[in-house]
Structures are given as C-alpha cells and as structure tokens.
C-alpha cells in the first residue's frame, strides 16, 4: 500500500509554485535554451470560455486566438459566460477568469494548467487576468501560450518572454509540429 502511495505521489503533476497563491503558474526560464519548450499538449482543440466579469471582449480573445491559429494551433468554440460564478474550467476548456485573490504587483496575469497524471496531456487551463491587463497588447497572447503548454523563453521580442517590457510578437519555435 505504501509503495502505491509513493508511486502515485511521484507522478502527480504539480504546476504551482509553493510560495505563491494557488493560481500562480510557475515556469522556469532557461537562459541557455536554444528553442522554446512546450512542456504539455492538448489531446484535442480546447474551447475558450470568457467570464463576463473580466470585461475582456470576445473580439479581443479572438485576436489573441488568431495569433496562435496562424502558428497552426486549433481551438474550439469561444464563448462568453454571463454567470457570476464563472470560475472553474471544464474538461477540454481554457477559462479566462478574474483572480480569486490579488495578482502580485509584478504580474499582469497568471495561468494554471491542469494535466493528466497518467498521460501528461493538458486537461484544462485557467487564465487569471484583470481587465486592465486583458486589454494590454500581448498579455492575452502570452497567457494563451502558457495554456497551450509553452514555458517562458528568455529571448528579447519573443511572445513567451517572461518580462512584458522585453517581449514582442516573435514566434520563433512555436509553430505546431
């Protein structure tokens, strides 16, 4: 029995840094990485649910999705959820929500990816974002990159750069394989 518990614990994916609230996704940045790293993949194209209280328009979300579609990624339906309890993503869904707690001052948004313990595939994802950040150029595109399994990539002008000031729309290494 003890062996079974140790086995399950060893393969449990924990994508949350322990020093931050539960919603904060931790991504390591490799200064020597030659190419961006996609740690996880979706089994099928995810739907995107936008919680109305985020005040992020469907048009803004479609523009961010279009960035990734041009790189070969596919998405299901994009829709607005008007319920006040819009929070948890369903299976095969990316939910765009307001944070339940404050986002640290040095962050504009955060993404939580939920993966299968058995296959490592992405089951669902949650993007925590404030209205002011959702309207800011590149923030939603960057967070969708995390929801697609991409880690930070420390190259100036890259969409996955960890610092918004040094980021850009460069998509080197992100094309769907």
pLDDT at 153: 97
pLDDT at 87: 86
154 by Cβ neighbours in 10 Å (0-12 / 13-18 / 19+) ranks as middle
Interhelix angle 58-69/139-147, rounded to 10 degrees, is: 60
Confidence of residue 34 (pLDDT cuts 50, 70, 90): confident
Is the per-residue pLDDT at 13 higher than 60? no
pLDDT at 7: 34
The pLDDT tens digits of the residues spanning 109-150 come to 999 999 999 999 999 999 999 888 988 999 999 999 999 999
Average of pLDDT values for 2-31?
37
- Here the tokens at position 10 are 């060893």
Look up the CATH number of domain 38-166.
3.40.390.10
pLDDT at 2: 41
Q: What b-and-e string marks burial along 131-142, b requiring 16 or more CB atoms within 10 Å of the CB?
A: eebbeeebbbbb
Q: What long-range pairs does 151-159 form, CB within 8 A, spacing at least 24?
A: 151/27, 151/28, 151/29, 151/36, 151/37, 151/38, 151/39, 152/27, 152/28, 152/29, 153/29, 153/33, 153/36, 153/37, 154/29, 154/30, 154/31, 154/33, 158/36, 159/67
β-sheet with 122-129: strand ranges across: 78-81, 47-51, 93-97, 122-129, 109-115
Confidence of residue 151 (pLDDT cuts 50, 70, 90): very high
Is the per-residue pLDDT at 18 higher than 60? no
Confidence of residue 33 (pLDDT cuts 50, 70, 90): low
CB 56 within 8 A of CB 65: no
Average of pLDDT values for 151-159?
96
What's the sign of the alpha-carbon dihedral 5, 10, 14, 20? Answer: positive
For the ranges 14-18, 72-76, 83-87, the lowest mean pLDDT is seen at: 14-18
Q: Could you give the percent of the chain with pLDDT greater than 70? A: 80
> What's the mean per-residue pLDDT of the chain?
83
């Amino acid at each position: 029995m003890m062996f079974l518990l140790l086995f399950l614990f060893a393969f449990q994916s924990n994508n949350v840094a322990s020093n931050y609230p539960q919603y904060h996704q931790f991504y390591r940045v490799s200064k020597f990485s030659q190419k961006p790293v996609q740690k996880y993949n979706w089994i099928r194209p995810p739907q995107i649910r936008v919680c109305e209280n985020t005040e992020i328009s469907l048009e803004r979300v479609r523009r961010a999705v279009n960035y990734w579609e041009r790189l070969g990624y596919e998405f299901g339906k994009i829709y607005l959820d008007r319920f006040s309890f819009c929070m948890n993503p369903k299976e095969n869904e990316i939910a765009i929500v307001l944070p339940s707690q404050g986002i640290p001052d040095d962050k504009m948004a955060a993404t939580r990816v939920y993966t299968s313990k058995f296959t490592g595939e992405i089951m669902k994802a949650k993007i925590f974002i404030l209205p002011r950040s959702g309207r800011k150029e590149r923030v939603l595109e960057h967070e969708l990159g995390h929801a697609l399994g991409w880690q930070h990539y420390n190259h100036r002008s890259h969409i996955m750069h960890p610092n918004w000031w040094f980021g850009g729309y460069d998509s080197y290494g992100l094309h769907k394989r």
